[in-house]
Structure 1
Amino acid sequence: MSSVSPSGTDGSRQRRRLTTGIKDSLRELGIQLSLLNHQVSAHLELRDVDFDCLDLINRHGPLSPTALARRTGLHAATMTGILDRLERGGWVTRERDPADRRAVRVRALRDRNAELIRLYAGMNGSMDEICAGYTPEQLELLADFLRRTAEAGQAAADELAAD
């Protein structure tokens, strides 16, 4: 005999439906952001993978080429080509690491940030409007959820890269 009441069963079904809806929405968000990033990279005349690496350098840099390759799951030789293109385009510079003069770190150049800001202006404006509809407490909950989801995505990618 089950100890779950009928209302408990309905609650479990509702929770599964809501969880599935969140996962579906996150997949759709991933697709839409990927398409937006593809459009931005095309306007900047960058390959998608180059743009992804530039974004990682902007967010987490300066980084060594090895750390960037590890983070992206790309081969070191592939990373060299990407960094060469980004450097030629005026997006990044390679510098000696002050802690270890033999090591190189890649740093994003800020000269072209205005282009990025302009291309993302529509999305950023929409996000501001959406966020304005939430209380600070709700925004804290959403930020926590998204941060934890991003961490789970990074862990899953790391696990696949290790295989």
Structure 2
Amino acid sequence: MTREHDVPADELERFGAYARETSALTVALHSRVAERMGLSPTDGRCLALAARAEGPVTAGRIAELSGLSTGAVTGVIDRLERAGYVRRVRDPHDRRKVLVEVATGDGDRFSPLVEGARQALREVLSRFSPEERAVLERYHRASIEAFRQRVVDT
């Protein structure tokens, strides 16, 4: 169900400001978590992208998702592999292809680093009814899709 509505300039400005503030705080949080893991923010972001994939992922896909060059991603993977966060594995369907697999077992070790953010989100969401949360979820899904089309898929 897609409906188009005019958005007044003042609303657009407010929502843009909310998005910029949320983005800045998210970057700060991710940087803090990466630092505590002994990683640079870029390495932490690439690790997070690989961890969200459904199974091993190619370096090329990490490059697409991160916006980094494939050469830069190779360096990131080298550092993540040396730190024990990922390993390179052969693609079982094409032995010539190398995939990046996130090492298992570190999730419990680093979950305390993001627990504060998870608790803050829980507190905020508890202020909204299930119906309101459904609208918020619809908004976030639409935003993610729109920005992904303009950033990742282009």
Q: Same fold (TM over 0.5)?
A: yes
Deviation at 1:142, TM superposition (A): 0.9
Letter in 1 for 2:30: N
Aligned to 1:36: 29
Aligned to 1:47: 40
Deviation at 1:39, TM superposition (A): 0.9
Letter in 1 for 2:46: C
1:151 and 2:149 are equivalent in the alignment: no
1:121 and 2:121 are equivalent in the alignment: no
Q: Which SS does the other structure have where 1:84 is aligned? A: helix
Q: Distance in 1 between matches of 2:48 and 2:136?
A: 22
Letter in 2 for 1:154: R
Bigger proportion of residues as helix = 1
Deviation at 1:48, TM superposition (A): 0.8
Moved more, 150-159 or 38-47: 150-159
| Structure 2 residue corresponding to 1:68, chosen from 58, 62, 73 | 62
Q: Which SS does the other structure have where 2:96 is aligned? A: strand
- TM-score, normalised via structure 1 length: 0.83
Q: Distance in 1 between matches of 2:72 and 2:107?
A: 25
Aligned to 2:81: 87
Identity %: 28
Q: Distance in 2 between matches of 1:49 and 1:141?
A: 32
Aligned to 1:107: 101
Q: Distance in 2 between matches of 1:116 and 1:147?
A: 27
Deviation at 1:33, TM superposition (A): 0.7
Q: Distance in 1 between matches of 2:45 and 2:85?
A: 12
Stretches of 4+ moved more than 4 A in 1?
Answer: none
Q: Distance in 2 between matches of 1:122 and 1:51?
A: 18
Q: Which has the larger radius of gyration?
A: 1
Per-residue Cα deviation, 1:93-132 (whole angstroms, up to 9, x for no partner) = 1111112111111111222112331011111011111111
Deviation at 1:73, TM superposition (A): 2.0
Deviation at 1:15, TM superposition (A): 3.4
Per-residue Cα deviation, 1:2-59 (whole angstroms, up to 9, x for no partner) = xxxxxxxxxx7x8332232111101100000101111111111101110000010011
Letter in 1 for 2:11: L
Alignment RMSD (CA, Å): 1.7
Q: Distance in 1 between matches of 2:32 and 2:19?
A: 20
Q: Distance in 1 between matches of 2:118 and 2:139?
A: 19
Aligned to 1:7: none
- TM-score, normalised via structure 2 length: 0.88
